[in-house]
């Protein structure tokens, strides 16, 4: 949606205020398209890592292999709950899995995590990491 269209949706009072400001400051291109949504894969990634348990699991498994029982003990959570979160992380390719006998060990897939973080950075920052103008 363009800035001009957004302004057209404001109340008369808001519209006058914004238009007066824009005349004085010239900060906004009225024909600029304003993006409002992230690509679905990026949005789903954000939802996945927004969960505190899943974020903790990714941090714990950075550069190390751990089994479900150790992850559960470290986080003070039930193994069933941890297994559920591990499945979600695996679904997004965020974990490597290795079987040793009856046990399964997991480690963060740093390459896939990095790809998602780069996509998120491109969407939110235009690819750069600079935060000032």
* Per-domain residue ranges of the chain: 3-36, 40-114
Whether the Cβ atoms of residue 95 and residue 106 lie closer than 8 Å to each other: yes
For 113, left (φ over 0), alpha (ψ -120 to 50), or beta?
Answer: alpha
* DSSP secondary structure code for residue 97 in this structure: E
Residues in contact with 99: Cβ distance below 8 Å, sequence separation at least 6, in sequence order: 105
Tell me the CA end-to-end span of the chain in Å, nearest whole number: 24
Whether the Cβ atoms of residue 105 and residue 67 lie closer than 8 Å to each other: yes
- pTM score above 0.85: no
- Rounded distance, CA 42 to CA 117, Å? 9
27-76 pLDDT per residue, tens? 777 787 788 888 999 999 999 999 999 999 999 999 999 999 999 999 99
For the domain made up of 40-114, the CATH class stated in words is: mainly alpha
92-128 pLDDT per residue, tens? 999 999 999 999 999 999 999 999 999 999 999 985 5
Residues in contact with 81: Cβ distance below 8 Å, sequence separation at least 6, in sequence order: 53, 72
Give the torsion sign (CA, 78, 83, 85, 89). Answer: positive
């Amino acid at each position: 949606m363009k800035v001009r269209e957004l302004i057209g949706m404001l109340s008369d009072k808001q519209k006058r205020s914004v238009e007066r400001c824009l005349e004085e400051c010239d900060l906004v291109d009225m024909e600029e398209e304003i993006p409002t949504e992230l690509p679905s894969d990026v949005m789903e990634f954000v939802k996945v890592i927004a969960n505190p348990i899943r974020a903790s699991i990714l941090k714990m498994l950075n550069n190390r292999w751990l089994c479900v029982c150790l992850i559960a003990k470290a986080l003070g959570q039930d193994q069933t709950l941890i297994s559920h979160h591990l499945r979600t992380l695996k679904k997004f390719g965020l974990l490597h899995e290795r079987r040793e006998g009856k046990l399964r060990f997991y480690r963060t897939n740093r390459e896939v995590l990095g790809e998602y973080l780069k996509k998120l950075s491109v969407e939110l920052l235009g690819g750069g990491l600079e935060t000032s103008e």
